[in-house]
Structure 1
Amino acid sequence: MDKEVDPAVLAVINEKRLMGEKRTPVEIIAKMGVFEAREKASEHAWLATGDNVIATLWAEFVSIGTGGRWFYLESLDTQRRLSGGERSALQIQRAKDRLGLLKRTLDAGQGLRAVLQTNRIAIADLETDKAAKVSTRVPDDQEWHIARWDADERIAVLVRGARGWLPSDADMQAARARGGVPAAAPEAPAGQFSREEVQAAALDYLTRHFAGYGYKAENVSAQKLGYDIEVTDKKGNTLLKLAVKGTATGMNGFQLTGEERACAKRGDPWRLAVVTDAIGPAAQHKLYKPSEIDSAPGLEPLLA
């Protein structure tokens, strides 16, 4: 709602709204290069043409720091809503997909495009109100970037404009209160979870991830084929054969079996899928081609 937006941010939104062409929220992201924008309109981040990442930033949560710099706190807790309470399975998947795209820009050293959005209901009710509608969505002309990604604090800091600036501690504290960003949950002591539990969580995460995109993800790990999950399309065509490795706090190393290395040598569609923080709320994954596996962080040599 407009009354929740900082006046400086609202002024930019109103200027864009009045001076630009009138477009619907779907038309705006389509114009920015999002394929199948209508089908993806309910998502909160998109991979557009040219591998550009576009993310919705709720204007109500954009804060103004020292020197008038804009920044935005992103919670890395995919399990809980900003207003408190547990997310649904669909909401969790959308949150993970969004964080995956944001992390992609950080890893690549790239910026991202933002669409500033206000809503017709209070921001705290956005995820729980099925009738929630976008009030205004405008593209921001300035580039944003990930200035800080703190897995321990479960927080990422997005900054508008030039790199090299971070909000002060006071700015961060005020932004946390403004955005209802939950404090980091206490870490589970190292060794609390077994290797088997971490691996099971990684398999479950990837199965749900690909199922969320309409693919069939079958756990075939018991068959010792050299991969753990086979991803197929609706016609039954095999898209990926994933050798899955889960990591967690105090358990960051993993090995590839002889069967997995042999399968990797046969090439596509085999991939190494490493799920970090597999057992926690900020699980993320990265795929490695057979030619890239030796550079995968955490890979340990196979013991004789």
Structure 2
Amino acid sequence: MRPADRLHRALFHLAGILVAVLFLAPIAFLVLAAFRPAAEAVNPPLPPWPKAGPSLDSFARLDGFGEGIWHYAGNSLIVALATAALTILVSVLAGYGFSRYRFPLKSLVFVMILATIMVPFQSILTPLFLVLAKLGLQNTLVGLVLIYVTLQLPFSVFMMRNAFDAIPKEIEEAARIDGVRGLKLLLRVLTPLALPGIVSVGLFAFLNAWNEFLAALVFLTDERNYTLPVMMMVVRQGRFGSIDWGALQAGVTLMMVPCLLLFLSLQRFYIRGLTAGAVK
């Protein structure tokens, strides 16, 4: 390797390390601050590392807020999993229909679905609140799931349409010759081939539902139904104006764990799903 090539590679790796440190530093700051003892956690976490050694006091105090951290984590998990499952179900069927079937005004309907992405969510909060109230779903986790699914579907349908477009039609024709038709064709032949796109859609839906704050704050009024982001707002407000920084950092640390584990375990499908149908 020539000296110029070695220098170029060294600079490339150095730049990568600097970018990684830039992104990982806030996460390390957050995690270290979460393990500060009670005596150090009352002030903003500077420096973040515990002077008296790591402690779980912040996590214990966090569990004392309201119904407890695990109750709110359960609410968030139920909402996120239900949102991901329902989004996958509807988007797979819709994406397959837009990719393989012909029907009147097909292009217009698809453009109208995509156009809803341009509508700011904040502008339709009041109509959505009234609709949920009429249906008796206001202040329920079911109503919150339906709102999240509605917000996820335009992008998810677009993703699944591209994923099915990337699958050669010859595979589908060969399956039809072998007698596989209808829903069985979709489930047994096309769905495994479109798995990267399905995983990407489910991952997006789960992460957005897990971290979403505004809709949960507006549509949920019963403290028992709060999700983790709303619960963290209560912790952030504190009592009598005081903020328990240790409990706040501990809560954010716990919120990160499922997202990191899920993304790291599914990242290979996620990357393939985003590039599916890109050339076409």
TM-score by length of 2: 0.25
Q: With CA pairs under 8 Å and 6+ residues apart, which has the higher RCO, 1 or 2?
A: 2
Structure having the larger proportion of residues in helix = 2
Structure having the larger proportion of residues in strand = 1
